[in-house]
Amino acid sequence: MEEVTEATEAAQTAGEEFMTKTSDFIDWVHGLLTWENLFKLIGGLLLIFIMWIVYRLIIRAIKKSKSKKMDTHKKQMLSHFIKYIFYVLVVLEVLSLLGIKLSALLGAAGIAGVAIGFAAQTSVSNLISGLFVLTEGSIKVGDTVTVDGITGVVDEINLLSVHINTFDNHMVRIPNSTIINSDLTNINYHKTRRMTIAVSVDYSTDMKTAIEALKKAPALCPTVVADPAPAAWFDGFADSGINMTLAAWFKPADFLQTKNDLYIAIKTVLDEAGITIPFNQLDVRIKEDENPEIGGALPKGQPAPDSADWV
């Protein structure tokens, strides 16, 4: 009986505590449900909605801008900057609705700043590097770049990383700190680029004829530009031929077509001039031996012996 009584009393005590806490919670909710708080909530939500409308209008205006000074890279950079400002304003407004003062938040951030700083060293490094990448102008969306052994087209530039689409259709995310600390090659940075092709001619070729013939090749390629002008020169005497080099300028977007056209044109002009491109040849000689038993070749005209004669 005593155990039943103790259990009953414990249950009653737990029930009273539950009812007390429930009553306190209800009182707290009733305290929040005041006209003042309601108008404050409606005003805050209305302000966030207005900020969202303004944000969307600004982003749409940036995307539809046809200004010559506003390229894709600058549009993307400005859109990201406005997006981050919008997020910060929304967070501050929500904190204000919850009754959290900004001064108290900054004080708490100062206390936790050291711990968070050690944990976020990489992110902070990428963020700072991202500011340099965005403002430096060394790359922009659509450029073909090579960085840290990866080659591809820049799809997106963010504050933390750059997204590159490789030629085999792989998306590679490169941290901005890697871009800052590595050698970066931007193929599209200038309006034109140069291609050099090495070719060899036979030693029996007249060198003046060879150089004049090679100079005719760029004219057969429609994607080769006239300024800077193409050039051809001798580049040394090799073991099997005279080395020559042809250089031509073209727009980066015409890389593959220019390369194919130049090789075809070089072969065409050399063939028309009767010039031979040498290639390595291998002569194989078999030494004849009078004694076939030591593995040499049989003398001419002698038939092969039976297998029994070799035993």
**293 vs 204, higher pLDDT:** 204
pLDDT value at position 195?
A: 93
**Model confidence at 155: pLDDT above 70:** yes
Average pLDDT score over residue span 107-113: 55
Residue-wise pLDDT tens digits, 217-229: 999 999 999 989 9
* Residues 131, 129: Cα–Cα separation, whole Å: 5
**Model confidence at 32: pLDDT above 60:** no
* Residues 175, 65: Cα–Cα separation, whole Å: 29
| Residue matched to tokens 């004849």 | 288
Least confident of 96-110, 185-199, 210-224: 96-110
Residue-wise pLDDT tens digits, 226-250: 989 999 999 999 888 999 999 999 9
What pLDDT band is residue 23 in, cutting at 50, 70 and 90?
low
**Model confidence at 260: pLDDT above 90:** yes
The angle, 0 to 180 degrees and rounded to 10, between the axes of the packed helices 207-215 and 255-272 is 140
Average pLDDT score over residue span 122-132: 70
Average pLDDT score over residue span 138-159: 87
pLDDT value at position 28?
A: 59
Burial of 129 (0-12, 13-18, 19+ CB in 10 A): buried
What pLDDT band is residue 124 in, cutting at 50, 70 and 90?
low
Element (DSSP H or E) covering residue 49: helix 35-64
**12 vs 306, higher pLDDT:** 12
**284 vs 1, higher pLDDT:** 284
pLDDT value at position 87?
A: 82
Percent of the chain at pLDDT exceeding 90: 28
pLDDT value at position 3?
A: 56
Apex CA 161: angle with CA 93 and CA 109, to 5°?
Answer: 35
Cβ neighbors of 269 (< 8 A, separation 6 or more) are: 213, 214, 216, 217, 220
pLDDT value at position 261?
A: 95
* Residues 95, 292: Cα–Cα separation, whole Å: 100
As given in the structure block, the two tokens for residue 8 are: 């009953």
**123 vs 240, higher pLDDT:** 240
Average pLDDT score over residue span 176-188: 86
As given in the structure block, the two tokens for residue 24 are: 């306190």
* Per-range mean pLDDT, top range of 80-94, 125-139, 172-186, 296-310: 172-186
